[in-house]
Amino acid sequence: NAGVTQTPKFRVLKTGQSMTLLCAQDMNHEYMYWYRQDPGMGLRLIHYSVGEGTTAKGEVPDGYNVSRLKKQNFLLGLESAAPSQTSVYFCASRAWAHEQYFGPGTRLTVT
Amino acid sequence: GENVEQHPSTLSVQEGDSAVIKCTYSDSASNYFPWYKQELGKGPQLIIDIRSNVGEKKDQRIAVTLNKTAKHFSLHITETQPEDSAVYFCAARIGNTPLVFGKGTRLSVIA
């Protein structure tokens, strides 16, 4: 049982490039989340999903897209990366009415 | 929507002393309050949580108290040890909506 895993762990992008971050969980959780963490800003919700095939916007969704084609995977896409998207990205998942588990994070730098 | 305020933002204590971190929430409908510990370079890890039908919960050296009337909850760590040094986040949730996080407290335990 690996829990929540994130791929890649580190990435450096140039402004305007695109990329996809992958989150996978093996706990059969319905709910999945993407957060970004910046110094002094805590954890801010980007997008989330309440089940396979569903997505919803969080607090800071602009510049990101997501997809949940399979229950165990939640993808976060950056179509045209900007320096303001330099951050640490965390994925999380939980079952209905249960605690939330976080992945180890992806450190993204956009130059 | 829900808003969570967390204080203090930094806290230094001597090893063996107690540490207290406080959070206030704005929406009286919130019914779930977890606390997460984040060590350097890692994802947040759930350390304790409390639901609105309980006033206090303990787990060894950590405890959480909830005052629904005042809309605040606190994390108490007794007999602090150097390995307690980390960033701690509180959060609140209404039903199955996403967690709303405080901005975090950096705890330093001085040996």
Q: Is the pLDDT of residue B1 over 90?
A: no
Tokens representing A44 are 């801010």
pLDDT of residue A40: 81
Q: What's the confidence (pLDDT) of residue B42?
A: 96
Question: What's the confidence (pLDDT) of residue A27?
Answer: 95
Which residues, in sequence order, are bridge partners of residue B108? B12
Give the A window 23-52 contacts with B, CB below 8 Å.
31, 33, 40-43, 45, 48, 50
Is a pLDDT exceeding 80 seen at residue B20? yes
pLDDT at B32: 96
Confidence of residue A39 (pLDDT cuts 50, 70, 90): confident
Instruction: Please check the confidence at residue A96 and state whether its pLDDT lies above 90.
Output: no
pLDDT category at B31 given cuts 50, 70, 90 is very high
pLDDT-based confidence at A55, cuts 50/70/90? Answer: very high
Residue B47 and residue B91: Cα distance in Å, rounded? 12
Q: pLDDT-based confidence at B22, cuts 50/70/90?
A: very high
Residues of chain A with C-beta less than 8 angstroms from the C-beta of B102: 42
E strands within chain B? 4-7, 10-14, 19-25, 32-38, 45-51, 56-59, 62-67, 72-77, 86-92, 100-101, 105-110
Q: Does B101 touch chain A (CB under 8 A)?
A: yes
Q: Given this model, what pLDDT does residue A95 score?
A: 93
Please state the separation of Cα B95 from the chain's center in Å. 19
What is the per-residue pLDDT for A76? Answer: 98
Interface test with B, best of A60, A102, A107 (most B CBs within 10 A): A102
**For residue A97, what pLDDT is reported?**
80
Beta-strand pair A19-25/B4-7: unpaired
Question: What is the per-residue pLDDT for B98?
Answer: 96
